[in-house]
Amino acid sequence: MSLSVKEKTTARLVFLGAAGVGKTSLIQRFLQDAFDPKHRHTVEELHSTEYETAGGTQVKIEILDTSGSYEFPAMRKLSMQSGDAFALVYSVDDPDSFERVRRLREEILEVKEEKSPPIVVVGNKKDEAVTQKVPWKETMSIVELEWNSSLLETSAKENLNVTEVFRALLTEVNLPYRLSPALRRRRETIPNEGNSKPPMNKTNSCSMC
Protein backbone atom coordinates (compact mmCIF):
# COMPACT_ATOMS: atom_id res chain seq x y z
CA MET A 1 0.00 0.00 0.00
CA SER A 2 1.31 3.45 -0.86
CA LEU A 3 2.38 5.76 1.93
CA SER A 4 0.96 9.22 2.40
CA VAL A 5 2.58 12.27 0.81
CA LYS A 6 4.06 13.29 4.16
CA GLU A 7 5.65 9.88 4.68
CA LYS A 8 6.74 9.03 1.17
CA THR A 9 9.39 11.26 -0.39
CA THR A 10 10.95 8.88 -2.92
CA ALA A 11 9.69 6.61 -5.68
CA ARG A 12 11.13 4.37 -8.37
CA LEU A 13 9.32 4.48 -11.71
CA VAL A 14 10.08 1.51 -13.96
CA PHE A 15 9.63 1.68 -17.74
CA LEU A 16 9.02 -1.67 -19.41
CA GLY A 17 8.17 -2.67 -22.97
CA ALA A 18 9.41 -4.23 -26.18
CA ALA A 19 12.45 -2.94 -28.03
CA GLY A 20 11.95 0.18 -30.11
CA VAL A 21 8.68 1.38 -28.56
CA GLY A 22 10.26 4.58 -27.24
CA LYS A 23 10.87 4.01 -23.51
CA THR A 24 14.21 5.83 -23.60
CA SER A 25 12.78 8.59 -25.80
CA LEU A 26 9.97 9.28 -23.33
CA ILE A 27 12.43 9.49 -20.43
CA GLN A 28 14.83 11.66 -22.42
CA ARG A 29 12.02 14.00 -23.42
CA PHE A 30 10.93 14.36 -19.79
CA LEU A 31 14.39 14.88 -18.31
CA GLN A 32 16.09 16.77 -21.12
CA ASP A 33 13.25 18.06 -23.29
CA ALA A 34 15.10 16.44 -26.19
CA PHE A 35 14.37 13.79 -28.81
CA ASP A 36 16.84 11.56 -30.64
CA PRO A 37 15.29 9.74 -33.64
CA LYS A 38 18.03 7.11 -33.62
CA HIS A 39 17.18 3.93 -31.73
CA ARG A 40 19.81 2.60 -29.40
CA HIS A 41 19.74 -0.63 -27.42
CA THR A 42 19.37 -0.19 -23.68
CA VAL A 43 20.48 -2.83 -21.19
CA GLU A 44 19.42 -0.92 -18.09
CA GLU A 45 19.84 2.69 -17.03
CA LEU A 46 18.85 4.37 -13.81
CA HIS A 47 18.14 8.11 -13.71
CA SER A 48 17.67 10.17 -10.59
CA THR A 49 16.13 13.60 -10.14
CA GLU A 50 14.99 15.62 -7.15
CA TYR A 51 12.53 18.46 -6.73
CA GLU A 52 11.03 20.57 -4.00
CA THR A 53 7.29 20.72 -3.44
CA ALA A 54 5.33 23.87 -2.67
CA GLY A 55 5.48 22.89 0.99
CA GLY A 56 9.27 22.66 0.93
CA THR A 57 9.50 18.87 0.97
CA GLN A 58 12.35 17.32 -1.02
CA VAL A 59 11.13 14.53 -3.28
CA LYS A 60 13.38 12.09 -5.12
CA ILE A 61 12.37 10.21 -8.27
CA GLU A 62 14.34 7.29 -9.69
CA ILE A 63 13.48 6.34 -13.28
CA LEU A 64 14.57 2.89 -14.41
CA ASP A 65 14.86 2.40 -18.18
CA THR A 66 14.86 -1.34 -18.87
CA SER A 67 15.92 -3.44 -21.83
CA GLY A 68 13.49 -4.47 -24.52
CA SER A 69 16.10 -6.12 -26.71
CA TYR A 70 17.86 -8.51 -24.37
CA GLU A 71 16.19 -11.21 -22.32
CA PHE A 72 17.44 -11.07 -18.74
CA PRO A 73 14.58 -12.60 -16.70
CA ALA A 74 16.42 -12.22 -13.39
CA MET A 75 17.15 -8.54 -14.07
CA ARG A 76 13.56 -7.90 -15.13
CA LYS A 77 12.23 -9.59 -12.00
CA LEU A 78 14.53 -7.47 -9.84
CA SER A 79 13.30 -4.34 -11.65
CA MET A 80 9.73 -5.31 -10.88
CA GLN A 81 10.49 -6.07 -7.26
CA SER A 82 12.15 -2.68 -6.74
CA GLY A 83 9.55 -0.63 -8.64
CA ASP A 84 6.93 1.55 -6.97
CA ALA A 85 5.03 2.28 -10.20
CA PHE A 86 5.29 0.96 -13.75
CA ALA A 87 4.95 2.44 -17.22
CA LEU A 88 4.17 -0.33 -19.70
CA VAL A 89 5.00 1.10 -23.10
CA TYR A 90 3.87 -0.13 -26.50
CA SER A 91 3.92 1.40 -29.96
CA VAL A 92 0.54 2.28 -31.49
CA ASP A 93 1.75 0.93 -34.85
CA ASP A 94 2.83 -2.46 -33.49
CA PRO A 95 0.19 -4.88 -32.12
CA ASP A 96 2.91 -7.30 -31.00
CA SER A 97 4.27 -4.66 -28.65
CA PHE A 98 0.89 -4.46 -26.90
CA GLU A 99 0.91 -8.23 -26.48
CA ARG A 100 4.30 -7.79 -24.80
CA VAL A 101 2.64 -5.32 -22.42
CA ARG A 102 0.05 -7.99 -21.56
CA ARG A 103 2.79 -10.46 -20.62
CA LEU A 104 4.74 -7.88 -18.64
CA ARG A 105 1.65 -6.97 -16.66
CA GLU A 106 1.13 -10.63 -15.76
CA GLU A 107 4.73 -10.81 -14.56
CA ILE A 108 4.26 -7.73 -12.41
CA LEU A 109 1.11 -9.20 -10.85
CA GLU A 110 3.03 -12.35 -10.00
CA VAL A 111 6.13 -10.60 -8.66
CA LYS A 112 4.33 -7.90 -6.65
CA GLU A 113 1.55 -10.28 -5.53
CA GLU A 114 -1.04 -7.52 -5.98
CA LYS A 115 -4.31 -7.51 -7.90
CA SER A 116 -3.94 -3.88 -8.99
CA PRO A 117 -0.30 -2.73 -8.85
CA PRO A 118 0.42 0.90 -9.84
CA ILE A 119 0.54 0.66 -13.65
CA VAL A 120 0.17 3.25 -16.40
CA VAL A 121 -0.09 1.84 -19.93
CA VAL A 122 1.48 4.08 -22.56
CA GLY A 123 0.78 3.91 -26.30
CA ASN A 124 3.74 5.78 -27.79
CA LYS A 125 4.41 7.04 -31.33
CA LYS A 126 1.03 8.74 -31.64
CA ASP A 127 2.69 10.97 -34.27
CA GLU A 128 2.54 7.90 -36.52
CA ALA A 129 -1.24 7.64 -36.11
CA VAL A 130 -1.67 7.22 -39.86
CA THR A 131 -0.23 3.73 -39.34
CA GLN A 132 -1.96 3.12 -36.00
CA LYS A 133 -2.69 -0.58 -35.76
CA VAL A 134 -3.62 -0.91 -32.08
CA PRO A 135 -7.29 0.21 -31.82
CA TRP A 136 -7.77 2.89 -29.16
CA LYS A 137 -11.29 1.99 -27.98
CA GLU A 138 -10.54 -1.71 -27.66
CA THR A 139 -7.29 -1.00 -25.85
CA MET A 140 -8.98 1.45 -23.49
CA SER A 141 -11.61 -1.15 -22.63
CA ILE A 142 -8.93 -3.70 -21.76
CA VAL A 143 -6.66 -1.37 -19.81
CA GLU A 144 -9.20 0.70 -17.90
CA LEU A 145 -12.03 -1.77 -17.39
CA GLU A 146 -10.27 -5.14 -17.17
CA TRP A 147 -6.90 -4.08 -15.77
CA ASN A 148 -8.10 -1.09 -13.72
CA SER A 149 -5.12 0.96 -14.96
CA SER A 150 -4.64 4.29 -16.72
CA LEU A 151 -4.04 4.53 -20.49
CA LEU A 152 -2.31 7.40 -22.27
CA GLU A 153 -1.28 7.84 -25.91
CA THR A 154 1.94 9.77 -26.33
CA SER A 155 4.51 11.01 -28.79
CA ALA A 156 8.04 11.48 -27.49
CA LYS A 157 8.88 13.05 -30.85
CA GLU A 158 6.17 15.73 -30.59
CA ASN A 159 6.24 15.93 -26.77
CA LEU A 160 2.60 14.84 -26.58
CA ASN A 161 1.37 13.75 -23.13
CA VAL A 162 4.90 12.94 -21.93
CA THR A 163 4.58 14.99 -18.74
CA GLU A 164 1.15 13.47 -18.19
CA VAL A 165 2.71 9.99 -18.04
CA PHE A 166 4.95 11.03 -15.16
CA ARG A 167 2.09 12.86 -13.45
CA ALA A 168 0.00 9.70 -13.63
CA LEU A 169 2.84 7.57 -12.25
CA LEU A 170 3.46 9.96 -9.36
CA THR A 171 -0.26 10.05 -8.63
CA GLU A 172 -0.20 6.26 -8.38
CA VAL A 173 2.31 6.48 -5.52
CA ASN A 174 0.72 9.55 -3.90
CA LEU A 175 3.58 11.93 -4.63
CA PRO A 176 3.08 15.60 -5.60
CA TYR A 177 3.02 15.96 -9.38
CA ARG A 178 2.66 19.65 -10.22
CA LEU A 179 5.55 19.91 -12.64
CA SER A 180 6.99 23.26 -13.58
CA PRO A 181 7.28 24.07 -17.31
CA ALA A 182 10.99 24.87 -16.84
CA LEU A 183 13.39 22.91 -19.02
CA ARG A 184 14.58 19.81 -17.20
CA ARG A 185 18.20 18.85 -17.47
CA ARG A 186 19.15 15.22 -17.62
CA ARG A 187 20.33 13.90 -14.29
CA GLU A 188 22.82 11.23 -13.32
CA THR A 189 22.59 8.20 -15.61
CA ILE A 190 24.15 4.95 -14.45
CA PRO A 191 24.35 2.01 -16.88
CA ASN A 192 23.86 -1.33 -15.19
CA GLU A 193 24.81 -4.52 -16.98
CA GLY A 194 24.50 -6.77 -13.99
CA ASN A 195 21.58 -8.00 -11.97
CA SER A 196 22.34 -5.97 -8.87
CA LYS A 197 20.71 -2.69 -7.94
CA PRO A 198 22.72 0.17 -9.49
CA PRO A 199 24.39 2.54 -7.02
CA MET A 200 23.03 6.04 -6.82
CA ASN A 201 25.08 9.21 -6.88
CA LYS A 202 23.96 12.50 -5.41
CA THR A 203 22.27 14.69 -7.99
CA ASN A 204 21.21 18.28 -8.19
CA SER A 205 17.63 19.31 -7.65
CA CYS A 206 15.25 20.49 -10.30
CA SER A 207 12.33 22.78 -9.63
CA MET A 208 8.69 21.83 -9.46
CA CYS A 209 6.01 24.18 -8.39
Domains defined for the chain, CATH in brackets: 10-191 (3.40.50.300)
Q: How far apart are CA 44 and CA 194, in angstroms?
A: 9
What single-letter DSSP state applies at residue 80? H
- Report angle CA 143, 118, 100 to the nearest 5 degrees: 50
* pTM listed for this prediction: 0.80
Q: Give, for 163, the enclosing helix (H) or strand (E).
A: helix 162-172
Tell me, rounded to whole angstroms, the distance of Cα 138 from its chain centroid.
22
pLDDT of residue 40: 72
pLDDT of residue 141: 96
pLDDT of residue 185: 38
pLDDT of residue 197: 39
pLDDT of residue 178: 58
pLDDT of residue 120: 98
pLDDT in single tens digits along all 209 residues of the chain: 444 444 468 899 999 999 999 999 999 999 999 888 776 777 789 999 887 776 777 888 999 999 876 667 888 899 999 999 999 999 999 999 999 999 999 999 999 998 889 999 999 999 865 578 889 999 999 999 999 999 999 999 999 999 999 999 999 988 876 554 333 333 333 344 333 333 333 333 333 43
Q: How far apart are CA 143 and CA 141, in angstroms?
A: 6
Q: How far apart are CA 9 and CA 20, in angstroms?
A: 32
Return the SS3 of 194: coil
